[in-house]
Amino acid sequence: MSEGSERKAHCLCGAVRMTVKQASTSAGACHCSMCRRWAGGPLIAIDCGTEVSIEGEEHVSVFDSSAWAERGFCSKCGSHLFYRLKENGQFMLPAGLLDDENGLTFDHQVFIDEKPSYYRFANETKNMTGAEIFAMYGASE
């Protein structure tokens, strides 16, 4: 993860606001079937570590999407807020939530083996399969 500085983010309606202490400057796309179903396409997100403060937490609903992760969304406007690993509380935030997207570099794609053939990105990126991601985080499918 390329370390960045503090970043602010918010949902579409503004009911939920987040402050990230050390947001990555590296953005990546997840092509897994769950992210595509959740986001309507690949989820482009940044790693935000574990130091994320949330204002308006009463408007955050969490869906237990797998044995090792959960997904948060705004209960007022439906914006996707985060993908969070259960074991260590690590947050991935959709890049589009950031108040300032300057300085981000799109440099990796995960679950590349699940990417459908109807789209592709022109950027040269590091590409990882689902098996490589599970091995990296020590999780099982």
**DSSP label at residue 137:** H
pLDDT along the chain (141 residues), means of 10: 78 98 95 94 96 98 94 98 95 96 96 96 96 78 55
Do the domain assignments include residue 2? no
* Domains identified in the chain, total number: 1
| Widest Cα–Cα separation across the chain | 40
Would the CA dihedral through 65, 70, 74, 77 be positive or negative?
negative
Give residue 3's pLDDT: 60
List the domain range (segments joined by +) for residue 118: 7-137
User: Residue 70: which CATH number?
Assistant: 2.170.150.70
